[in-house]
Structure 1
Amino acid sequence: MKPIETRLARLARKGDQRAFAEIVDLYKDKLYHLAYRMMNNRQEAEDIVQECFLRVYKHLDRYDENQKFSTWIYRIATNLCIDRLRKRKPTYSLDAESSEHEGLDGYAMMPSDDRTPESEMLLSETQRIIREAIETLPPKYKSVIVLRYLQDMSLQEISEVMGMPVTTVKTRVHRGREYMRKKLENKL
């Protein structure tokens, strides 16, 4: 029996709008989180998710039912992110207000019961420094680091999403970690 996404894709290919809406519901949050982690910008992440679903809809006939649907849709989203990152001007402002406070709401700033305000501040500062280091990674390393450590994908899954051998993924993860380690040595 085929996975639900494959059945939905088949129905959507035949014009079933509800099936496509279910695909959107299944993946919109996952793709947004992926895009946000890669782009570090809400608006760009929303644009990428929208563009991803447009491409999925337009190219459903190209989906190979023998491969996992999630691999196919993640590949589209990841490629859109990489394309946007390559088009960005390479100017990084490490103290830009928008990136530092992006994604924070009142609840995110409230410490939980088991944390002190000091530990919360230290944790959020560490997260900010790591986020900034990820932001400076070249796109080929950034994509595998985000997929590996922020999306919790296996090396094999990343290989499928990126369409490259597992050995290349391992190399890029290693080099991305080394790049970040050098960036973070003096900051943490």
Structure 2
Amino acid sequence: MEEWFHLLRNPIHNCDVVTQERVYRSFSRYVYKDIYLIVYDRQLTQDIIQEAFFKISTLAPRLRSAQNILGWIRQVTRHTTVDFLRKWKLDRQVVSNIYDYIKVGTSEISLVEEVETKIRNELLYQALSELKLDYRTMLHMCYLEGQSYREISKVLNLSETALNQRMARARKKLLKHFLSKWADCDERKSERSS
């Protein structure tokens, strides 16, 4: 899987189209979670991945050493994300002023948002069902039933400190499962549109 980063050492435009696509998809999978955990927006994450890939594919052939190239890729990606967010924040202010004067077809937007919300919820429930029973129980009691940590700790016969630690682990596992499903869903959509 990680052989792709060695291909970055050569100019990417010298590779055939199939290899270029494979390198890009592998790169995208490698950095997706890092970027998504910063921006929490799928489309913005995809935009940043494209920009980071362009930077890395331009800079990589000039690297003197391949040592710790994966760390370098993550560092460039993080810097690209921060730069992108700074620029995006300025652009958003300009765009929000424009939207004050333009009416947007809200029915289209609400339909897209509704479909995306439904897909996200289905994937979230799938990810939840893959967790261990005690993690599922704690998360269900807290987020779906609205019980407090004190109430949950009494029912499960745990100290609040232990519950807090287990909840943190459960949320981390849930996020990991969910993000992998979300990335897979996103990849399937891009394959269908190709």
TM-score by length of 2: 0.45
Larger CA Rg, structure 1 vs 2:
2
Question: Which structure dedicates a bigger proportion of its chain to helix?
Answer: 2
State the TM-score, normalizing by the size of structure 1. Answer: 0.47
